[in-house]
Amino acid sequence: MFMRIDHIGIACRDLEEKIAFFSETFELTVVAREVNEEQGVKEAMLHIADGEGGGSYIQLLEPLSEDSPVGKFLAKRGEGVHHVAFGVRDVTETMAKINEKGVRLLDQHPRHGSMGSEIAFLHPKDVGGMLTELVQAAKR
Ligand code: V0V
Ligand code: CO
């Protein structure tokens, strides 16, 4: 089902500060930046490697508001790992397969994700406490 880890999403209060830290400390390059109003985030993708069907990245996330998913997470838990995203071939198909096994989907239809991807989230309570994202990367 999963081809690779697409990205690890990290919640932060100051995107510019964390971009500077990750790019300098780990010699990673920012390959995309986006404001995603629907998800309530300002985000940056730092490239790590290329894999089957797409790359793998660190995703740095700053909330657009306090009542957004990342805003609430920061208030409750502080900065840190917010979600893990897996690369899949077909997000709609994978959502259906996983849902059949009793895992709740947080999205009924795929949504727009970073770099032209299509994404969907699974409920963290059904995945051992890990907010899980499915990513179908844009065709290259
Ligand atoms: C909340 N919980 C988490 C969690 N957020 N557990 C693990 N990881 C997280 N990130 C736990 C929380 O501690 C509660 O457990 C329970 O889930 C319900 O949380 P809540 O605070 O009561 O509820 P909300 O309203 O904060 O909703 C949580 C969910 C929400 C996960 C439902 O954040 C959501 O829909 N997220 C999906 C969208 C998203 O995260 N977008 C931002 C990334 P207890 O306390 O009851 O035990 S956007 C992105 O990644 C993009 C654009 C991309 O990759 O391209
Ligand atoms: Co993500």
Domains of the chain: 4-136 (3.10.180.10)
pLDDT values of the chain reduced to their tens digit, one per residue, 140 residues: 999 999 999 999 999 999 999 999 999 999 999 999 999 999 999 999 998 899 999 999 999 999 999 999 999 999 999 999 999 999 999 999 999 999 999 999 999 999 999 999 999 999 999 999 999 999 87
Around ligand 1, the residues with Cβ closer than 6 Å are 9, 36, 39, 41, 59, 61, 69-70, 72-73, 82-83, 85, 106, 113-114, 117, 119, 121, 124-125, 129, 131, 133
To which residue do tokens 């994978």 refer? 94
Give φ, ψ of 89 to 5 degrees.
-70, -45
Q: Whole-model pTM above 0.85?
A: yes
- The DSSP letter of residue 65 is S
Q: Is 112 one of the annotated active-site residues of the chain? A: no
Distance CA 78, CA 33 (A): 22
